[in-house]
């Protein structure tokens, strides 16, 4: 059985422009699931990373039993680490302490009769916050921490949604640090922003960005509980009656607010006199994750095996120019898998099919195979039957 959670404050010299070169502490939660007397070279460490808008504990550790993907993995014998990047969850959130620094289009969410603004105000830090390089730097610091803590040579990585923007390029740049890569609902835009000319992953422009102001002139956005509910409901299918637990939004929102020491006190005032809370979401500029970079040096699908999993109902990463299929095609090596699973959406980690997701991740980590398949693209129906999915 895994130990109780161990929360770490991992020292890191920030490369985020808003607090560049300051020493900060990155939040990392650990579940030690390795059986006693396991030699160091036999330990397996897994790093789990959040996406764009939901902090890490609200994705992977929302409660007891199968509500926690992280704990379920630890029960099967792995050391599991969960990290928040800066601007998210329990890691530092530079320039995100005041709602004035939110997207001006979101200011009304914090205005009277809500909390805490009594009048609109100008953005005090008119730039975006994080970027691809800062994400890679922070992941590297945490990977180094894990390697030193447990004496392992490399870690397995699991990412949700926009975590692909960090973990995919990181794996290409540091293949010796990565045993395998599993991405659930990965964000991938085949024609997304390129790196600087003549580089694999160099920043394409001076940072931080501030123009156009409507896109980059603020360090954060503000999300609401109603917005979370609406986005999820947009991917619910009536033919999957047990897909979404009626209490799931309340649970996820509570975990999000538990990880947001400022945002939990913002937003509309409830009948009980307490604020409902707003989720603070960092405004991040990403580059270097497209059909040109994904196949670089033959790393993905080669030295780093890749498993991509997406819910059949997931509209978040399969519309608006995003494509999981194109990511699968762009992975150059042969050791790659793609699964589409029925009755699962982008919010799959919270849905009834989450136990299938847990099973798939365990099989992948143990065997570099899922449902006996080691390569190719596959469809998993409601009953769990697996069939080819031509792409």
pTM: 0.97
DSSP state of 131: B
Q: Residue 240: name the closest of 335, 358, 353 by CA.
A: 353
Mean pLDDT, residues 149-158 taken together: 96
- The DSSP element (H or E) to which 226 belongs, if any, is helix 225-233
- The DSSP element (H or E) to which 258 belongs, if any, is helix 248-258
Q: How confident is the model at residue 65 (pLDDT cuts 50, 70, 90)?
A: confident
pLDDT tens digits for range 276-313: 999 999 999 999 999 999 999 999 999 999 999 999 99
The residues near 271 (Cβ < 8 Å, ≥ 6 apart) are none
Return the number of other C-beta atoms located less than 10 Å from residue 386's C-beta: 15
DSSP E strand boundaries for 153-264: 155-160, 178-184, 220-223
Judge contact between 143 and 171, C-beta under 8 A. no
The Cα 212–Cα 314 span in angstroms is: 30
Judge contact between 382 and 343, C-beta under 8 A. yes
Return the number of other C-beta atoms located less than 10 Å from residue 6's C-beta: 11
The token pair at 141 is 């610091």
Angle 132-186-28 from CA coordinates, rounded to 5°: 60
**pLDDT score of 40 more than 80:** no
CA 236 to chain centre: 21
The Cα 147–Cα 31 span in angstroms is: 15
pLDDT tens digits for range 165-221: 999 999 999 999 999 999 999 999 999 999 999 999 999 999 999 999 999 999 999
Gyration radius of the chain over CA positions = 20
The residues near 107 (Cβ < 8 Å, ≥ 6 apart) are 99, 100, 117, 120, 121
**pLDDT score of 347 more than 90:** yes
């Amino acid at each position: 059985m895994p130990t109780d959670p161990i929360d770490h404050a991992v020292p890191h010299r920030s490369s985020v422009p808003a607090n560049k070169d300051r020493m900060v502490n990155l939040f990392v939660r650990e579940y030690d699931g390795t059986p006693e007397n396991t030699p160091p070279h036999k330990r397996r460490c897994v790093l789990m990373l959040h996406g764009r808008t939901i902090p890490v504990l609200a994705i992977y550790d929302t409660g007891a039993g199968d509500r926690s993907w992280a704990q379920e993995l630890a029960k099967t014998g792995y050391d599991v680490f969960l990290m928040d990047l800066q601007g998210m969850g329990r890691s530092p959130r530079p320039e995100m302490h005041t709602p004035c620094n939110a997207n001006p289009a979101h200011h009304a969410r914090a205005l009277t009769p809500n909390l805490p603004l009594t009048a609109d105000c100008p953005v005090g830090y008119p730039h975006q916050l994080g970027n691809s390089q800062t994400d890679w730097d922070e992941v590297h610091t945490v990977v180094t921490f894990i390697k030193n803590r447990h004496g392992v040579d490399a870690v397995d990585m699991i990412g949700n949604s926009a975590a692909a923007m960090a973990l995919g390029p990181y794996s290409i740049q540091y293949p010796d640090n990565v045993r395998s890569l599993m991405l659930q609902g990965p964000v991938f835009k085949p024609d997304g922003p390129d790196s600087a000319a003549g580089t694999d992953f160099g920043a394409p422009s001076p940072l931080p960005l501030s123009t156009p102001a409507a896109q980059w002139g603020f360090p954060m956005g503000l999300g609401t509980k109603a917005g979370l509910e609406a986005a999820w409901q947009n991917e619910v299918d009536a033919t999957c009656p047990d897909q979404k637990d009626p209490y799931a939004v309340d649970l996820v929102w509570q975990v999000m607010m538990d990880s947001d020491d400022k945002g939990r006190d913002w937003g509309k005032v409830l009948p009980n006199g307490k604020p409902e809370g707003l989720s603070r979401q960092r405004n991040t500029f990403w580059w270097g994750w497209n059909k040109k970079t994904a196949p670089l040096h033959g790393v993905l699908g080669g030295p780093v095996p890749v498993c991509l999993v997406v819910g059949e109902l997931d509209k978040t990463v399969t519309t608006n120019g995003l494509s999981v299929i194109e990511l699968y095609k762009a992975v150059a090596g042969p050791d790659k898998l793609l699964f589409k699973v029925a009755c699962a959406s982008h919010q799959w980690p919270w849905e009834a099919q989450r136990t299938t997701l847990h099973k798939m991740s365990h099989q992948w980590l143990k065997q570099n195979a899922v449902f006996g398949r080691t390569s190719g693209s596959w469809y998993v129906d409601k009953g769990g039957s697996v069939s080819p999915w031509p792409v």
